[in-house]
Chain A
């Protein structure tokens, strides 16, 4: 991957974080490269936020380390000029104005106050700069958090679930912002639990489940390898058919009502197998799994709280 000169990458090596008995992040190693939007995906509770907190030095790793441009975060001489991060948009004192919130941050890193007005303009908040943050909608808070991330004009940007609470217009805006930032050669690392959103925004995906790395590949490769075809079959002789299909090497799962879902074999092969064994079929249809389905399949085993468990 051609990294623009001067770009800085995030490097995680065997990053592990244990909270009591819970291993929130488990031996994660990955690189986040400049010039790309890297999507960081996993179900809720899979360790995305913890990983970002480890990168920012807010939590100390149990094992392993993470560096930005080869340095540990806490060794950066003016961190906001190297890494801009949006972790929790609501984490702002409600009685303070948007301007003063940003001013306090800017001063801590020796950033000129003029830059505060600049980033407020950039996120379209100049008109509400003097209003108390407490009265803001979640969408406005997200914009304020993005303004804070941009304060130091940093080469590395991290956004934790930046799309939460945004209206469609805001989502388009963030998507374009992230693309623009990456096209300028910056490193853009953005987490989300929405696979479809990342598929259109990101160039590269890092997928985690229960704190473990599941995939680390380009979006196209991910789509290619993950979009498995399923064949839906209805038949009065499902039991027999299931045995035959399994023997032929296909995976069979019970489907809705009296159907089965077959993977690892296309519909032609299923149809011919059924004909050869003299098994009647009532329905035979190929179903293209969506990216969201692929993501769900991938992370199924690692989802901590499943709906079925709640129902039990």
Chain B
């Protein structure tokens, strides 16, 4: 074995090298994201849930339109029916964001990451770019696949949507934007809580449990909670037909952006302050 030791190059003390920058960190984070199987599985789960559930709901909803009340028909939104699977697929995207950082905490690999890049904000920013890009691309693919498949499956007298109709393209792009922010939210929660189970629990509570509880509140309070609850507000950008007691699409999305920005800012603060 001793022969292996000898070729160690002589110390290049004082020799010039390029200072590492954000692009280097980004390249590294992309390598880390693509070389663990959990990334692929989260994205496959998101795609199957998003497209599959969308197709199922679309196929069943035509009957609902035929037998529904006037209210059902007025609020009939074939775009958001076809993309309804995203409300479950978002969880898989959020979990991917959570795992991107908590897997480093659970294995201890965060220490070699932060020793390699002691400017910790850079690490989190690079992870953020990776998760936003990854979840945006996947959410675009899911959304458009679910939309076209869904429109084909809505049968009978029920009206279908087309890209040329007003607000439809905006709603579809909105789905993808919403999805990528969910990924970023997962990353921020994972950074704050450092444990996958805890971060996913908070994510589920934010996305599903707390809005559900709001429905049980007296109408006046419940409607306001529903209106301003971050991800409920954020979802307004994903629909064509605007329901009562909701914010306008981009206003709602702005509320959600603001919320995610606050959580990610807290994550930056915590990562910089805490011992690794």
Contact = CB atoms under 8 A, between A and B. Distances in A.
A81 B35 contact: no
A104 B5 contact: no
Interface stretch (A106-114, A251-259, A293-301, A304-312): A106-114
- Interface size for chain A: under 10, 10 to 19, 20 to 34, or 35 or more residues? 35 or more
Given A93-B103, A103-B31, A104-B32, A80 B9 contact: no
B74 interface: no
A155 B1 contact: no
Contacts of A173: 1-2, 4-5
A109 B116 contact: yes
B157 to A, nearest CB: 51
A78 B20 contact: yes
Interface string B115-140: 11111000000000000000000000
A96 B38 CA distance: 10
Contacts of A22: none
A176 B112 contact: no
A185 interface: yes
A56 B276 CA distance: 10
A186 interface: yes
Interface stretch (B22-30, B60-68, B193-201, B223-231): B22-30
Interface string A100-129: 100111111110000000000111100000
B115 A79 contact: yes
Interface stretch (A69-77, A209-217, A279-287): A69-77
Given A100-B31, A104-B35, A108-B28, A153 B9 contact: yes
A77 B19 contact: yes
B205 interface: no
A110 B112 contact: no
Given A60-B275, A93-B104, A176 B5 contact: yes
A5 interface: yes
A37 interface: no
A150 B109 CA distance: 17
Interface in B250-276: 275-276
13 contacts: A6-B11, A56-B115, A57-B115, A57-B118, A58-B275, A96-B35, A104-B35, A110-B19, A121-B4, A150-B8, A153-B12, A172-B1, A186-B11
Interface of B: 1-2, 4-14, 17-21, 24-25, 27-29, 31-32, 35-38, 103-104, 107-109, 111-119, 275-276
